[in-house]
Chains A and B, each alone.
Chain A
Amino acid sequence: MANTQSCDCSRRQAVRSLFTGSLLFPAVLQQMLADTGDSLAPRVPHFPGKAKRVIFMYMPGGVSHVDSFDYKPKLIEAAETGKKTATGRLYVRPRWEFKPRGQCGIMASDLFPHVANSLDDIALIRSMRGDHNDHFQATLGIHTGSVTVARPSIGSWVSYGLGTENQNLPSFVVLAPKLPYTGSQAWSSDFLPGCHSGTLVQAGEEPVPNLTRRAPTQKLEELELGLLGRFNRKHQQSRAADPALAARIKTFETAYGMQMQMPEVLDLSKETDATLKLYGLERGSTKGFAWQCLIARRLAERGVRFIELIDVGASNNWDAHGDIKTHEPLARNVDQAAAGLIKDLKSRGMFDDTLVVWTTEFGRTPHADSPEGRGHHNNAFSSWMAGAGVKRGIAWGQSDDLGARTAENEVHVHDFHATILHLMGFDHTRLTFRYAGRDFRLTDVAGKVVQGVLA
């Protein structure tokens, strides 16, 4: 196999030279395009950011904070004494045992045992608040800052702000086995240029739409691209200095690069048994969050700017109205993989410039929705950040005694976004895009950087 690879490289160079030929130098081209924001060329942020890339884990349906990371002894008491809410609902006892963890001694339950044991590397936030209590709107909110109409996704904003380091891969990749609430609007670039949209990558025959070569042989594809390059160059010769033409020629080169590189990214055969074990991934398996996390690390290594991992879709998810116990298999899918990713990033020296974020739609009610289940709850929930520029082993903010409302150092979704952008080197009030006569930003007219979680 070794010489195949070198063969591929020389082929790729050959094809690349067919594309570019006597064209404009890429640097000039990138500069021509950079002005419009219609480019993935690497760009410098407002100030040096601690994080070069983000791995953003998102759990659809709403993970219960009071059963996972937000320890509420008074809630246990309230449930045991049969206390009721003002509207007559019974409180539900958290279903998993809480224990102090690691050096930091932060309380977390056995729902996510591996993540709990990694809390020394994590900044836990227990005072999250969102603007909406419905799935669709909350999903939109955590991705775009808007709970009503679609806006560009956070990954698109980061891509727009920073471009990407690897032109052979998209700048914003989404790994999701199923579509979440809001469909692909969750990773849409909306009014930002289309190159900043998330690219959905799924395990299987064709991980990215149209990635698989259609030409019956590689040789034929190379012939096609070679002739295309010659036709396009000839067409361009009499139409010099048109950046659109130059840019289009470049996209075929990138597409070809992606066609070559994406299978390599997804090929886990060179990963050691020890690494697979860290994530809890069986060799040969492309299933579950373990696969997603390991692919995320490989994408991060190759310069992808924003990688979003969504564990499940719009149904059979964390929306535990009927029985909170349904959290268990979902957590098992996510837990070891997420903790494994942190360890793996650390051992590779990538934890210092990679930001790992874990969040969800909203939390769940401290009281019962059905006897064993909990309802939607946007007034308090938990999330965490880890890695680049983030404090380790701290818990920031608090909810009230029952986990019903934020009580201290509230982190609104806008604040959460402002903090992520800050870690990437952006003043969230200045990362704007003029659309329909207004300068839009991810944080709308709000957002404060959460200084308390910054290292």
Chain B
Amino acid sequence: MTQIVTERLPGPGVILPTVRIVFATTGVFVCLAAAWAADSKPTPEALEFFEKKIRPVLVERCYTCHSAASRALMGALLLDTADGWKRGGKSGRPSVVPNEPERSVMLAAMRHEGPLKMPPGPPLSPEIIADFEKWISMGAPDPRTEPAKLPPPPYNFEEAKKFWSFQPVKDPAPPKVAAAEWSRTAIDRFVKAKLDEKKLTPLGVASKRVLLRRLSYDLTGLPPSPEEMSAFLGDSTPQAYEKQVDRLLASQAYGERWGRHWLDLVRYADTSGCNADFPVPDAIRYRNWVIHAFNQDKPYNQFLREQIAGDLLPIKKDADGKEILEDRNDKVVATGYLAIARRFGSRNNEFHLTIEDLIDNAGKVTLGLSVSCARCHDHKFDPIPTRDYYGLYGIFQSTKYAFPGTEIYPHAKDFVPLTTGRDAERLKNYQKETSGLDDRIEDFTAGKLGKELSKEEKDKEMARMKERVVVLERKAPEVPRAYAVSEGTPTDAKVQIGGDPRKGAEVTPRGFLTILGGQKLPSEEKGSGRLELAEWITDPSNPLTARVMVNRIWQHHFGKGLVATPNDFGSRGERPVNPELLDYLASRFRESGYSIKAMHKLMVMTRAYQMASGQNERNASIDAKNEYLWRFDRRRLDAEEIRDAMLAVSANLDRAMGGKHPFPPETTFKYTQHVQFFATYETKQRGVYLMQQRQRKHPWLEAFDGADPNASTPIRTAGQTSIQALAMMNSAFVEEQSDALAVRVGLAYTTEADRIAYAFRLAYGRAPAPDEIRESVKYLADARAALKESALPADRQPRAALASLMHVLLSSDEFVFVD
């Protein structure tokens, strides 16, 4: 096909049409003709030579792989601008050295002299090579000084909008189903309709015992206590189950469990991820903010707004019209979401990677789209052009991120004081002066500063600066501060060719994804644009945000999402198994003012949620993966649940909310890439409060498939490894909880049978069967006999025998699986 493309030309700014033949199948662009205005420097003859002899060859033989329009830029080399060959490709050497043909890699490649032989295909003719040699000898005149322009994105957006997830959310009426009595709620009717359609027979309802255990773990990550179980079993009112739902949703443990799901998504960590993995003691404020937000049932749209732009939102005022500091602080802390983005290197000069990490995370988490694929090229599968990526990039680039320090710049800066007045000033001044000294020391070390000084003077100045740092550190202000963001210098971003910040092309206005509306920042906006971004993402007409979140809630109740790829609602993701149900849920979510707790209740009150987890051969032959929910899927507890459940049944669990980690004092942070920060802090508080660092996972979380602190974890895998089995058999942690559980049941009851029964009720939520008691009693006798041969003192042996039985209970399948 042929299309006319206008190309902006240098010099007087004349726009002339050029004809571009686009071979749609191969993506080869051939520029046939172009007229050029004269540049001030090269002579018209030189330019004519370029236009006649050089440009056509570049266009025809090089641009496919080496231009802004390349589908895959090769070797990071651009040949469609003069700047491109001046910078060179991956090697960082210029491809052409003007006036020096023999030092020009491009010519050597054309001549097939070295390892690099270019272009691929038939070699260039000797005449063409001679032209290039002449051109380089002429000083390589090249009028292509304008930033490269990207080709139009290869999507038809109207067509693309027909894809299911970009369609507006509908509000389908629950289908009418035969055997209407099966359904308890509207959701059930959607489920049952699918089951009927696939000729699947749903299993019966689970027992009350199974239900409460399931519900407790799902909502709080903890097992029901024997007392809670008894109360539920003894409650024969019709509201018995609902009362339990309400009780669990109101508990602090709820936020700790569901906050953790969110922290998985946003790859929360307590260290920065830089080469030395600097600790970030203040990251926990964001972590606790998330837990509080779930417990308060903060509306999901507000929850997102505050994380993206909390610092820019209006602050609540008291009766006197004075801004309430707590409210302001809360919103600032929420932007910790942006600050915890992964950091790279030791210098802070790879910040484009941090911004990529942010765009990647925000895209996947809030929209279910892999936006960051468009960093280097137009997205191959979804309608996300590179321009859109840099539209978002500009917003995040216009933001200032708290900096936790690195090897080279060890002092924190740009943290936001959580106070006002003098204290806030003190913190700001301290950060400014210490980080300023870091910069200056590094500039001296690198020889950028102090060139005019003698060695002696330089040494003296270095000593003075280091002395000053010590003096400042001694009086480091202890002012509460947040690992958060603030407004930076608002600017639109240049498109980076191939994702390389040194290869800037056209400037792209800050805005939102074209496929979701393509809103741009209003011209009167003087800020970064985060406020608008938060609105675009949470706009009720955005078809993705609500769908993505209800799918996550569903996933954590039913074991998998209606869309099985919760971070990918694009064309490479799975299609929803029950699209009407997904939209029904999204509509209810919107209707409830985005109440997450309301969604939980809607889901767990269904019959579908309360089904048994058994087997049915006939169903399995039709739907082996249980996609249509003919049963409830059994699941293994996750890393934190196993740990917390062991602590809970052994009565060792500290239910207090986690505070600061025991990091060394910040003024002692001298970590380098050679001596990185590594620590494991044990705590008896819940697993969500464990210190999680980026360079090395906590051993327990690593063994049991904990979240990846470097990348969004939408689904926890539940693998079975021998490393897990070893942890179960031999870890000090499991041994400690086994012993504590033995002490607990030993103190509570005097007979073996009673102790065994209590242990079963604690660990499994049920009483043991008679044969289990018999087997356990016999086991205790055998264990005591075996212990006689151990070095253990005789009076410790009975306790050890009981602990050994507890060890078996805690490592058993029944303990770590939920029906």
At the interface with chain A, which of B156-164, B518-526, B804-812?
B804-812
Residues of B within 8 A of A228 (CB): 808, 811-812
Question: What B residues does A256 contact at CB under 8 A?
Answer: 725, 729
Contacts of A215 in B (CB 8 A): 804
Assuming A184-B697, A239-B614, A438-B572, is B114 touching A408 (CB within 8 A)? yes
- For residue B711, CB closer than 8 A to chain A, the reply is yes
Asked if A193 and B673 sit within 8 Å, CB to CB, the answer is no
Whole-angstrom CA separation of A235 from B674 in the bound complex? 50
Residues of A within 8 A of B730 (CB): 210-214, 259
Contacts of B115 in A (CB 8 A): 127, 406-410
> How distant is the Cα of A150 from the Cα of B696 in the complex, in angstroms?
12
A396 smallest CB distance to B (angstroms)? 12
Evaluate contact between B705 and A220: CB separation under 8 angstroms. no
Which of B614, B674, B775 makes the CB contact (< 8 A) with A230? B775
Q: A242: CB under 8 A from chain B?
A: yes
Closest to B677 in A: A183
Expressed in whole angstroms, the minimum distance between the Cβ of B369 and any Cβ of chain A is 9
B23 at the interface (CB under 8 A from A): no
Complex contacts, B636 vs chain A, CB 8 Å: 244, 248
Report yes or no: B813 in contact with A232, Cβ–Cβ below 8 A.
yes
Segment among B211-219, B549-557, B787-795 that sits at the interface with chain A: B787-795
**Contact pick for A149, options B710, B720, B808, CB 8 Å:** B710
CB–CB B673/A379 < 8 A: no
Residue in B614, B792, B809 whose beta carbon sits within 8 Å of that of A216 in the complex: B792
Inter-chain CA distance A239–B675, complex, in Å, is: 50
Within 8 A of B (CB), among A401-427: 405-410
C-alpha spacing A136/B807, complex, angstroms: 41
A190/B708 in contact, CB under 8 A: yes
Contact between chains at A407 and B114 (CB < 8 Å): yes
In the complex, what residues of A have CB within 8 A of residue B731's CB?
A: 209-210, 214
> Distance (Å) between the CB of A17 and the closest chain B CB?
17
Q: CB-CB < 8 A to B718: which residues of A?
A: 244
- Cα of A258 to Cα of B726 in the assembled complex, Å: 9
Using a CB–CB cutoff of 8 Å, the interface residues on chain A facing chain B are 38, 127, 131, 134-137, 148-150, 170, 179, 181-185, 190-191, 193-195, 197, 199, 208-217, 219-221, 223-225, 227-228, 230-232, 235-236, 239-242, 244-245, 247-252, 254-259, 314-315, 317, 319, 379, 405-410, 436-438, 445
Asked if B570 is an interface residue, CB under 8 A from chain A, the answer is yes
For residue A379, which residues in chain B have a CB less than 8 angstroms away from its CB? 91
Q: Which residues of A contact B695 (CB under 8 A)?
A: 182-185
**Complex Cα distance A240/B732, Å?**
32
Q: Are B699 and A183 interface neighbours, CB within 8 A?
A: no
10 tightest Cβ-Cβ pairs between the two chains A and B: A255-B725, A183-B695, A437-B572, A216-B790, A315-B674, A254-B722, A136-B275, A247-B720, A210-B730, A251-B725
Closest-by-CB residue of A relative to B573 is: A437
A194 touches B721 (CB 8 A): yes
* Residues of chain B lying within 8 A (CB to CB) of residue A217: 786-787, 789-790
- Find out whether the CB atom of B800 lies under 8 angstroms from the CB atom of A134: no
Size bin of chain B's contact surface: 35 or more
Q: Which residues does chain A contribute within 8 Å of B364, judged by CB atoms?
A: 436
Give every chain A residue within 8 A of B723 (Cβ-Cβ): 170, 194, 197, 199, 209-210, 255
Across the interface, do B634 and A224 meet the contact criterion of CB distance under 8 Å? Answer: no
Q: Per-residue 0/1 for B541-577: is the Cβ within 8 Å of any A Cβ (1 yes, 0 no)?
A: 0000000000000000000000001011010110000
Query: Are the CB atoms of B807 and A224 closer together than 8 Å?
Result: yes
Can you identify 5 A-B contacts, CB atoms within 8 angstroms?
A183-B678, A239-B615, A244-B636, A410-B115, A438-B373
Which chain B residues (586-643) contact chain A, with CB distance < 8 Å?
Answer: 613-615, 620, 634, 636
Residues of A with C-beta under 8 A to B353? 148-149
Residues of B within 8 A of A149 (CB): 342, 353, 357, 710-711
CB distance from A83 to the nearest CB of B (A): 17
- Find out whether the CB atom of A214 lies under 8 angstroms from the CB atom of B370: no
Query: Contacts A197-B702, A210-B727, A228-B812 given; 16 further ones with Cβ under 8 A?
Result: A170-B722, A185-B696, A194-B719, A195-B719, A195-B720, A209-B699, A212-B730, A214-B729, A216-B790, A216-B791, A223-B782, A223-B804, A249-B813, A379-B91, A407-B115, A438-B572
Which of A136, A239, A255, A445 interacts with B729 by CB under 8 Å?
A255
Interchain CB contact under 8 A, A134 and B346: yes
Give CA–CA (A223, B699) in the complex, Å.
27
Q: Which residues of A contact B699 (CB under 8 A)?
A: 209
Interface centre among B277, B572, B675, B812 (most CB of A within 10 A): B812
Interface pair A438/B813, CB less than 8 Å apart: no
Nearest chain-B residue to A219 (Cβ)? B786
- Bound form: Cα–Cα A228–B811 in Å: 8
